Structure 1
């Protein structure tokens, strides 16, 4: 059974501005799937459409064999699909613990238990629990954003450019945490400009161009293909 199936999805920010032009996309349980491509290819738009922030005008989106296309974001979140946007993904003037509380608002009865589990997974969040989120380092803020997503105990986590603006060391640490999430049983969909490093930790990769599927396959095979490397990965 697939965790997520997207078929022939068309979507955009207005009727005359369709960014996605018939995209197919699949994520299986317990795998990391990477989405790469040039700027404007529709990578972030795809995640926003799956998450319910944009409504598809065509095609189908199924999560755990249930149609979710067009549902509101909080209804999708309740079904076990979490989305971590690239920007404005934490509340800067709230503490780390308050941010986790906001992340768990759809399941308040389980907040304390889930918060403990998240802080066990990311010990730095326990150390910083009383600290304002705006005072954290870039890498720590990204871990907090992921921690907020984990508060709903999702089966699938979608991450939009999680290493943007991070130092190479912080990006490497975050990629390691993403691998740990897969090992803990989560499925992950990952949009990244840092394509080579993201593909190195992923099981499969989709390359989008101009809102359409261009190439997809096992990440290691695509990385080893000189033509693909030259055309999409900078040589």
Structure 2
């Protein structure tokens, strides 16, 4: 399996996806957009899965990050070619934009471990998930699946996409498009090390806001939460990569 990864900053990498892909002997090419001449973009015919990671920039920051234009064009070509794509946080926003959804500032920043609430479409990927009806924001203490967030912007749901989840702070937390494209505003790939890397590099974003946790609270999340998130990520990668047909 050949996987192409767009990485936008050194401190937001594959996280728990890296060992998962390594165990399955996937060939992974990483385009490090923060390094000049990171590598030529391969022909889409050679790629089985594209992973578009997060980053602190906006999809609109093409003046400061001109490489965004080429990345957007590649994503658009991949969508037309029906290449499976996974976008996380900024990656989801980039994909949503190429599908015609607007990307804008969210009503509140959302940083830390906060619950998401699943919609029926999520059962295509995670058959055992507990789904909710509607997308009205729940109280801050409402139960759900605890996942990691670090974003100040959001996307509108693209035409033809199905809503996967919402949270109390953000209406559109994920989408499924035609069974081969998934965008998640949140992160299922986190490890304690990747959370620490974000805190070291972006701690200035921890403003006083209802859905912004403290660094201490983020680092005290129990191991069970990480294990659940990583299991969900593995199931998502299997769904997109159709690995059960590739592996013995």
Q: What is the TM-score normalised by the length of structure 2?
A: 0.30
More helix by share: 1
Q: Which fold has the larger relative contact order, with Cα–Cα distance below 8 Å and residues 6 or more apart in sequence?
A: 1
Q: What is the TM-score normalised by the length of structure 1?
A: 0.31
